[in-house]
Amino acid sequence: MGSKISEYLSESIYIRDKARRELWRVQWIYDPKTKLLYVFAPSSKKDKYYEIIIHRTGQVEKLCECPASRQGKKCWHMHAAAVIYNKVNEHTYTEPVYGKGDRERFTGEDAYRALYELEKQTDNYIDLSRVSPTLKTLLDFVEGFL
């Protein structure tokens, strides 16, 4: 991508306020093995999320694909992702951590289970196998029960 997540912090009061109001709905997982932060920001459509991927260095690996972002405009999803990135970057995690908004909710395998539940709720398939080989194994295991 070539851009840093800090570039997506908006000066717009509207975007900052919208991100602050909606932050509690944004879900994320950080995998210390891949050093990637996956952020899932909700769309206005029910059960749809925009995936944003950020490397620990702040490099954006995948931009939000909402209509505003696709038009080259700043969006609240990327602003919220930047806020979460800053929060996550304050810590040194040794195992995966899943959170919602600015709070950690689960760590380790529980983090992957929580994210798998999110994937089941959405109408879009979120390819989580890139997060880590452990998650791929867990997904295969859980799907064996379905």
- The 10s digit of each residue's pLDDT in 103-136 is 888 888 888 888 777 777 664 545 555 566 666 6
Q: Specify the pTM.
A: 0.78
Q: Is the pLDDT of residue 69 over 80?
A: yes
Give the pLDDT confidence score for residue 146 in this predicted structure: 47
Burial class (CB in 10 A: 0-12, 13-18, 19+), 41: buried
Summarised one tens digit per residue, pLDDT across range 7-61 is 999 899 999 999 999 999 999 999 998 999 999 999 887 778 899 999 999 999 9
Report the Cα 115 to chain-centroid distance in Å: 10
Which residues pair with residue 99 across a beta bridge?
28, 104
Give the pLDDT confidence score for residue 144 in this predicted structure: 56
